Structure 1
Amino acid sequence: MKQQGDVTLAKSLGSFQLWGIAVGLVISGEYFGWSYGWATAGTLGFLVTTIFIAAMYVAFIFSFTELTTAIPHSGGPFAYSREAFGPLAGTVAGMATLIEFVFAPPAIALAIGAYLNVQFPAIPPKLAALGAYVVFMALNIVGVRIAATFELVITLLAVGELLVFMGVVAPAFEWRHFAAAGWAGQSSFAATSLFGIVAAAPFAIWFFLAIEGVAMAAEEARDPHRTIPIAYITGIVTLTLLAFGVMLFAGGSGDWRSLSNLNDPLPQAMIRVVGQSSSWLHMLVWLGLFGLIASFHGIIMGYSRQIFALGRAGYLPHYFARLHPRFRTPHIAVMAGGFVGIAAIFSDNLITVGGSSLTAGIVTVAAFGALTIYIMSMASLFRLRRSHPAMERPYRAPLYPFLPAIALILALIATISMVIFNPVIFAIFVAIMVVGVSGSVRFRHRHARISAGSSQAA
C-alpha cells in the first residue's frame, strides 16, 4: 500500500489512450474558436495563417517528442527547461504552461454551454458550463485510467462526428462561397493586407493548442519511449487533416460571414444546409458536445498535472502535490484550476479583454502561454543536445537541427506578430507571468529552507 507521503503517479496509459489524449486535448479547436479568425482575416487570409501555424506545429511536435521521451516527467516543459537552463527557466516554462492550460478550459466550457443552449434554450450557457466543470473535475479525481479511457471513447466519437459534418455539408460546398468578399466589400483576404492574416494567428493556434499536454501524462505512460512518439505523430496528422477539412467545408457551404463570431459555427453551418429540424443537426449538437468535452476533460487532466508537478518540486505550495489516498490522483490541483476557470466563466459578458470578447481574449492569452512553451522547449532541445550529449534519447528529432530550428523561428514570428496586434492582452499575459513567477520563486526558496532545516534536524 502507498504511503500517504508518496507522490508517485501510477503508470497505466498505452499508446492508443495517449493518442486519445493528444487528439482529445485539441479537438474542441475544430468545433469553435477558430472561426473568429475569419472575422480578422477573411477565409482566404485565415487559410494562409492556418498553413503557417500548421507547419509550425508539425515541426514542433516532431522535435518536442524527443524531450518528452528523454524526460518523461509530469511537468512537461517545466521539467525540460529546468534541466536545460536551471530553476528560473523552469519556473517561467511552468507558469506559461499553467496559463495555457488553466485559461483554455473556461472558453471550452462556455462553448459547451452554447452547444447545449441550441438543444435546450431554457438552460443558461453559464449554468451548463458550471455543471461541466463539476462533472469533469470529479471524473479526473476518480482515476487516471478511467479518465483516459473516457477521453479515448469521446475522442473517437468526436472525430467521427467531424467526418459526418464534412460529409453532410460537402454537397453544398462551392469555392465561390469560401472565397466570397467580406464586409463592406472587403476581399476574403481582409482588404488584401497582411494585417488580418498576421492578427489571426491565435485563432489558427486554437486548431492545435494543447497537443503538447501529452507530455504531462508521460509519467503515467507505460513504456513512454515507445508509446509517446506513436501518440504524438499520429495525433498531429489526425488534427491537421481535420482542421483543414472542417474549415474548408464550413466556409464553402454558404455565407462564411455569418459564422465568424460564433461559439457554435458547425451547427450553424449545418442549419443552412439541412434545416433547423433535421435529425443531422440534432446529432451534430449532441455528438459535437463530445468534441468539446474531450478537450475540456483532457485539459483539466493537463493543468492538474502541471499544478501537481510544480507543487511537488516546491514551486507552488506543497499541498498542491497531495494525491487522493484512494484514487492516487492530484485532487487538490484539479480543484484549484477549476476554481479559476469557474470564476472566468461568470466574468463573461461582464468584462472584455483588450477590446475583445472574453472568449476571444482567453483564446489569445492561452496562445501566448503556448508560444512561450514552444520557444522555451525548442531552446531546451538545442541546449540539452550540447550540454547532455550522453542523455538517453529513445526518439531523436528528425532533420536535426533544421526541423527544431523551423519550429523555433515560426514560433518567434507568431509571437512577435501577436504582440504587435494584441498589445493589451500581451501586457495582461506578462503581468500574470510576473506575479506567477515571483510567487513561485518565493515558494521555491521557502521549500529549500524547510528542506535544509529538516536535513539538519535529521
Structure 2
Amino acid sequence: MDNNELNKTLRPFQLWVIGVGIVISGNFLGWNFGLLESGYVGMLIAICLMAIMYLFMCFGISELSTIMPYAGGPYSFARRAMGPYIGFITGIGVILEYFIAGTVVSIGVGAYISFLFPTISTLLAAAIMYVFFSIIHIIGVKEYARLEGVLVIISLTLLVLMYFVGFPHIDTAKLIGGINGSLIPSGFKGVLIAIPYAMWLFLGIEMLPMMAEETRNVKKDMSKGILTGMVTLLILAILTTLLAIGLAGIEQMSNAKDPLPMAVATAFGDTYWLAQMLASIGLIGLIASFSGIILAYSRQIFSLSRSRYLPGFLSKLHNKRKTPYVAIALPSILGLLIIMFFNPNDLILVATFGALVSYITMNLSVIILRKKEPDLVRYYKTPLYPIAPIVSIILAVIALIANFLTNLSFFWISLGVFAIATIYYFAWGKNNINSHAPEEQFIQNLSHQDIQNENMTV
C-alpha cells in the first residue's frame, strides 16, 4: 500500500452504521426550528421533498463511488466531470457542510450535558467531545466504527422505545390544527422555510463515498451501505417528527433545544422516566453524529490536501495508524472557536448551503460522465436515470432558494466563503496540484481498461 493511502477495513454493516450514525442527531436536535412557519403539514411536505432529493442523489453517488473509489468522494466526482475548479469548489462545500455541522452538534451535546450537569458549561462539554473523538479517529477508522456501532444501536433502541411509549398518546389536534387553525401557517413560504431544517434529518448520508478508499469491496458494498442507511433515516424522520409534534404541539417544539425530552415531558411530566432517559441517553445520538462528522470533514480535507488544492501538511498521516491526524485535529480547534459566536439555528443554514452546492455538482457529475465517458466501468448504475439526478438537482435549487428566504444574512456569509475559496484557488491552488495523488492520477488516466483494473483491485 502507498504511504499516503488509507487502510481498507470497512464492510456493508459498518458503512450503514457510519451513514446512520452521522445523521441520527438530526432526530434529537435541529429539525424543529422552522415549525412556527410550516406547521406539521408543511414540515411533512418538506421532509418528503428532501427525502426524494437525498434518495435520488444516493442513487447517483453509489454509481460514482464504484468508478472513483477514493477518499475525495464528491471532489473526485466533480473533478472528473467538470474540471479542477468545480472539483475544488465541491470539496469546499463538503468541508463547509461538515465543519459547521460539527459545531452545531457540539452545541447540542453541550446543551444536553448542561441540562444533566448544570455546573458544566456548554463550551467545556464541547471541548471534551472534540478532544475525545479526535483521539479515537487518530487511533483508526475500524476502532471508530466499532464504537459508532454501539452508539447507533443505543440511539436507535431509545428512539424505538420512545415510539412505543408515545404513539398511543399523540393528540391529532396538535398535528392537524396548526397555529391559528392553519395547516401551513405561512403557506408555501412556510414549506420553503422548513426545508433547510428538514434537510437536517438526512444531511450527512452522502459522506459515505468518502469511505470508499477504506472499504474492502467498493463495487458491491458501497451501494448497500448508502441505500440501507437512507431508508433507515427516512423511517426515523417520519416517526420522530410525527411523535414529537403530536405530543407537545408546534409552539412548544419550535424553539426547543432538546425537542425529544421536551415532547415527552410535555405529555408525561418532567420527572417521567422516559423524559429523563431521553435527556441522558439521548445524548448518545448526538455523540454518534458528532464523531461521524469529524470523520467526514477530515477525509475531504485530507483528499484536497493530498492533491495540493489545500496546503500539503493537512494530508499528513500517522506513521503507524495511517490516519490523517492534522485534518482531524486542526478543524476541531477552529470549531471550538466558532461555538463562542454563533447560534445553532443560523449555523445550520451555512452547513446546508455548503451541502447543497456539492449536491448539485454531484448530480451533474452523474449526467456529464454518462454522456462524456459512457464506457467507464460502472458496477452499480443509477436507477431512473436521467430522471433521478435531474429531479435531485431541481430540489437542491429549491432548497437553496429556501436557504435564502430563511436568513438573508447567513446566505450572503455562505456566498462569501465560496468567493474567498475562489480567490484562493486561482491565486494559489490551481498552480500547485499534485498530479501523483490517486484522484488526479485516475482523472488523467483515460484508458478504460486501466480504470477497470484499478476498480477490480479495490
Would you call these one fold, judging by a TM-score over 0.5? yes
Q: Which moved more, 1:115-124 or 1:137-146?
A: 115-124
Give runs of aligned pairs for residues 114-125 of structure 1, distance below 5 A. Answer: 114-125=111-122
Residue number among 313, 337, 361 corresponding to 2:346 in the alignment: 361
Match of 2:424 among 430, 439, 455: 439
Distance 2:426 2:128 in 1: 35
The answer to whether the 8 Å contact 1:119/1:282 transfers is no
The aligned runs of 1:236-251 (5 Å cut-off) are 236-251=230-245
Aligned length: 436
Shift in Å at residue 449 of structure 1? 9.4
Are 1:334 and 2:328 matched, yes or no?
yes
Query: Residues 12, 441 of structure 1: CA spacing in aligned structure 2 closer, same or farther, 3 A cutoff?
Result: farther
CA 401–448 in structure 1, closer or farther in 2 if over 3 Å, else same: closer
The yes-or-no answer on 1:140 pairing with 2:123 is: no
The answer for the alignment partner of 1:279 in structure 2 is 273
CA distance in 2, matches of 1:442, 1:60: 32
Q: Which moved more, 1:252-261 or 1:107-116?
A: 252-261
Listed as ranges, the matches of 1:30-429 within 5 Å are 30-182=27-179, 185=180, 187-191=182-186, 193-348=187-342, 358-429=343-414
3-state SS in 1 of match to 2:6: coil
In the TM superposition, what is the alpha-carbon distance from 1:442 to its structure 2 partner?
3.5
Counterpart CA distance in 2 for 1:445 and 1:71 is 21
- What's the secondary structure of 1:10's corresponding residue? coil
Cα distance between partner residues in 1 of 2:426 and 2:289: 31
Deviation larger for 409-418 or 308-317: 409-418
> Are the counterparts in 2 of residues 56 and 410 from structure 1 also a CA contact under 8 Å?
yes
CA distance in structure 2 between the partners assigned to 1:420 and 1:114 by the alignment: 28
Q: Which runs of 4+ in 1 moved over 3 A?
A: 440-443, 448-451
CA distance in 2, matches of 1:436, 1:448: 15
Instruction: Indicate if the aligned counterparts of 1:316 and 1:443 stay in contact, CA closer than 8 A.
Output: no
Question: Alpha-carbon deviation of 1:180?
Answer: 3.1
Deviation at 1:59, TM superposition (A): 1.5
Task: Please state whether the residue corresponding to 2:361 is helix, strand or coil.
Answer: helix
CA deviations 1:262-315 (Å, max 9, x no partner) are 221001111123322233223222321111111100010000001100100010
- Which whole-Å CA distance do the structure 1 matches of 2:70 and 2:97 have between them? 18
Amino acid at match of 1:190: P
- Deviation of 1:396 (Å): 0.2
Farther off after superposition, 93-102 or 114-123: 114-123
User: 8 Å contact 2:98–2:351 — kept in the other structure?
Assistant: yes
Counterpart residue type for residue 106 of structure 1: T
Determine helix, strand or coil for the equivalent of 1:394: coil
Q: C-alpha distance in 1, partners of 2:63/2:430?
A: 31
Q: How far, CA to CA, are the matches of 1:430 and 1:125 in structure 2?
A: 29
1:456 matched residue in structure 2: none
Q: Find the partner of 1:430 among 415, 421, 429.
A: 415
Q: Structure 1: where are the runs of 5+ without partners?
A: 349-357, 452-458
- Which residue identity does 2:249 align to in structure 1? D
Q: Which amino acid counterpart does residue 403 of structure 2 have in structure 1?
A: M
CA distance in 1, matches of 2:217, 2:323: 20
Name the stretch that deviates more: 286-295 or 315-324.
286-295
Cα distance in 2 for partners of 1:23, 1:445 equals 35
Structure 2 unaligned residues grouped into runs of 5+: 437-458
Shift, 1:446, TM fit: 4.5
For normalisation by structure 1, the TM-score amounts to 0.92
Q: Per-residue CA shift, 1:79-115, capped at 9, x if unaligned?
A: 0000001111111101111100111011100111111
The residue type equivalent to 2:150 in the other structure is V
C-alpha separation in 2, matches of 1:255 and 1:247: 11
For residues 215 and 398 of structure 2, the distance between their equivalents in structure 1, rounded to whole angstroms, comes to 33
| Separation of aligned partners in 2, 1:420 and 1:345 | 24
Maintained 8 Å contact 1:178/1:253: no
CA separation in 2, counterparts of 1:234 and 1:228? 10
Kindly provide the amino acid, as one letter, of the partner of residue 402 in structure 1: I
CA offset at residue 118 of structure 1?
A: 2.1
Report the alpha carbon displacement of residue 179 of structure 1 after superposing the two structures with TM: 2.2
SS at match of 2:280: helix
Q: Secondary structure at the match of 1:12?
A: coil
- Give the fraction of aligned pairs with identical amino acids, expressed as a percent: 35
State the TM-score, normalized to the length of structure 2: 0.92
- Show the counterpart of 1:455: none
Counterpart-to-counterpart distance in 2, 1:181 and 1:389: 50
Deviation at 1:186, TM superposition (A): 6.0
Distance 1:403 1:449 in 2: 34
1:354 match: none
Q: Give the letter for the 1:419 counterpart.
A: F
Amino acid at match of 2:242: L
Identify the range of structure 1 (387-396 vs 39-48) with the bigger mean alpha-carbon deviation: 39-48
Contact 2:306–2:434, Cα closer than 8 Å, also in 1:
no
Q: Distance in 1 between matches of 2:431 and 2:274?
A: 58
